[in-house]
Amino acid sequence: MAQDLTPVRDGIDKIDNTIVELLKERLSLAKTIGKLKNESKRAKWDPLRERQIYERLTKLNDGVFPKDALHSIFHEIITTCRLSQQKIAVSYLGPEATFTHLAGVKYFGHSATYSPMESIADVFSEVEKGRTQYGIVPVENSIEGAVFSTLDSFMKFRTKICGEVRMEITHNLVCKSGDIKDIQTVASHTQPLAQCREWLRKHLPTCPTLPVFSTGAAAQMAANNPNIGAIASSLAIKTYELQVVVKGIEDYRGNTTRFLVIGKESPTPSGADRTSLLLGIKERPGALNEILSVIARAGINLAKIESRPIKGKQWKYLFFLDLMGHIDDQHIKDCCTTLKALCSYFEWLGSYPVTEESSPDA
Ligand SMILES: O=C(O)C(=O)C[C@]1(C(=O)O)C=C[C@@H](O)C=C1
């Protein structure tokens, strides 16, 4: 005879009731803090406080409840509390269900309002014009490297970087029927097409590829045409009612994309931050070396350097640099003062908390 589960389920119901009551109480306290912050014109978002909460809870949990799950639960709770202090509108590279959309939801939770944009430049423009407070854009992939339209947009629009999201990317081949025999063309954004190049060559050697402006757009096309296969996210499968043909078709494991959250202001220090700079280097021998020496002498970890041609100025370049630390840290501030004097162009793009990697399906 089956055991009676009722008494144990009663115990779970009691706990769930307490959790809901406590969540309501927590939300009300966060709203009170929101009002106090309004009065003193303090930023609603406090990354340092949030980091401290996660660290305290991780210790308290002692590994009993799975660490990532605990983090996700509190991430949703804290973002919901933060959103109760101030409504947040986020633009992203659309349409719905792109990896950028997923990254946005990972970062801001489900309660924010999301608006899909047709291009990365449109996301920057929305934020610059103040139509959405934040935007989310891909900036680099561990296999394919930099996303040039994002870097180029930093040269064109006045925005600040507020945060980053690192997400392990799993590419799925999808189509309407779920049968590989129906696929005559494979559509996706150029980056996923490149990241799955070998797999496609081996398994669909005669199928042409069709680059489109996002994985979401490819999924949309596959939903409307049974002979189009798309390389898309797990969210796209649900959103566009597609069937999985093969999961995980990327050529290399550990395929991670870094996304940037852009807004009007960078947050205050969190204790583990990254500072992004855009520099123009004077045309003289050893100029780049001089810049790098300043950073090295200050004992600052240079996390990334990337150059991009300046549009309309032949053979002229700007450099994107990421330094570990926050602009409010004295040694970063001093280093930036020296760099400003040495460079033909200097722009602080933002300082923001470094985040851990997470999988889109986590
Ligand atoms: O402690 C604060 O400053 C709050 O506003 C509360 C809270 C939270 O929900 O815990 C919300 C937003 C901040 O970014 C940090 C923490």
59-68 pLDDT tens trace: 999 889 999 8
What is the model's pTM?
Answer: 0.83
Is the domain spanning 172-246 CATH 3.40.190.10? The answer is yes
Measured from CB, residues less than 6 Å from any atom of ligand 1 are 30, 33, 45-46, 49-50, 53, 78, 81-82
| ipTM given for this complex | 0.98
Q: Given the CA of residue 47, which atom of ligand 1 is nearest to it?
A: 14
From the CA of 77, give the closest atom in ligand 1.
9
Give the number of other CB atoms < 10 A from CB of residue 129: 9
pLDDT digits (tens, 9 = 90+) for 107-162: 888 888 999 999 999 999 999 999 999 999 999 988 888 999 999 999 999 999 99
Domains of the chain, by residue range, sit at 15-85, 172-246, 273-353
31 confidence band (pLDDT: 50, 70, 90): very high
Closest ligand 1 atom, CA of 53? 10
Closest ligand 1 atom to Cα of 29: 6
Q: Find where tokens 């969540």 sit.
A: 23
What is the whole-number distance in angstroms between the Cα of residue 49 and the centre of ligand 1? 7
Cα 333-334-337 angle, rounded to 5 deg: 90
State how far Cα 127 lies from the chain centre: 16
Q: Does the pLDDT of residue 361 top 60, yes or no?
A: no
Query: Which mutation among 37, 46, 48, 85 tests ligand 1's pocket best, with the greatest number of atoms within 8 A of CB?
Result: 46
**CATH annotation of 15-85:** 1.20.59.10
- The residue whose CA has the least distance to atom 12 of ligand 1 is 82
- Summarised one tens digit per residue, pLDDT across range 233-268 is 888 888 899 999 999 999 988 889 999 999 999 999
In CATH, what is the architecture of 273-353? Answer: 2-Layer Sandwich (3.30)
Whole-angstrom distance, CA of residue 229 vs CA of residue 325: 43
Residue nearest to atom 3 of ligand 1 (CA): 46
Mean pLDDT over 196-216 rounds to: 94
